[in-house]
């Protein structure tokens, strides 16, 4: 059964809901989520971290990225190359440029990385057991299917839903952090 139309409809609905979030709520919630992220021992102890530069109404990651760099940890961000996602190490936010889908990506001269302790994964919606609704291109699912990195998604509590149609290629996320809680998805 092809679940793409159902996922596409859910994606549209939840993006509209997220995009209607006020700027103030986004900023306050992003700060709360950042504080909760710092409470995760394995995140604090990680030496190599994969993350993403947030867009639109996503939980803001700019301060998180800067904190990782300030802590002298290895920070890598994704870059779309052909039909794949690769992570490239950056040493400053100045190492980013406009890339695919108008998202800031590492410049071409940044070194490729593959051994990441933790990866922050963007999402549109999540279930408590770690099912993720992404943007529909499959880049993260393809990448995550071949890595042992711990995964975390940062999202608003209103983006936690009861059900997301699941396909065999979907990769579940280990932890979800909202403005209200930290969820270990293995507990659900």
Would you list the DSSP string of 9-73? HHHHHHHHHHHTS-HHHHHHHHHHHHHHHHH-HHHHH-SEEE-----TTSPP-HHHHHHHHHTT-
**Distance between start and end Cα atoms, the chain:** 26
- 177 is in which domain, residue-wise? 4-187
* Least confident interval from 18-22, 74-78, 89-93: 18-22
pLDDT of 1 strictly over 60: no
| pLDDT over 70, % of the chain | 98
Residue 73 maps to which CATH number? 3.40.50.10420
For 158-183, the pLDDT digits (tens) are 999 999 988 888 999 999 999 999 99
Domain count, the chain: 1
Do residues 125 and 133 lie in contact, with contact meaning Cβ atoms separated by under 8 Å?
Answer: yes
Q: What is the arithmetic mean of pLDDT over 136-154? A: 94
């Amino acid at each position: 059964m092809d679940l793409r139309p159902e996922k596409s409809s859910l994606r549209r609905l939840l993006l509209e809901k997220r995009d209607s979030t006020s700027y103030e709520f986004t900023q306050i919630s992003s700060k709360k989520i950042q504080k909760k992220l710092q409470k995760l021992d394995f995140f604090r102890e990680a030496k190599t971290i994969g993350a993403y530069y947030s867009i639109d109404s996503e939980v803001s990651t700019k301060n998180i990225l800067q904190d990782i760099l300030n802590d002298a940890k290895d920070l890598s961000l994704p870059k779309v190359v052909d039909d794949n996602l690769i992570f490239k190490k950056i040493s400053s936010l100045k190492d980013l440029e406009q890339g695919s889908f108008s998202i800031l990506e590492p410049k071409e001269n940044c070194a490729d990385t593959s051994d990441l302790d933790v990866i922050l994964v963007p999402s549109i919606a999540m279930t408590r057991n770690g099912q993720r609704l992404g943007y529909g291109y499959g880049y993260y699912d393809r990448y995550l299917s071949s890595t042992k990195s711990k995964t975390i998604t940062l999202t608003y509590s209103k983006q936690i839903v009861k059900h997301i149609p699941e396909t065999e290629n979907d990769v579940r996320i280990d932890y979800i952090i909202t403005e209200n809680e930290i969820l270990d998805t293995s507990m659900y």
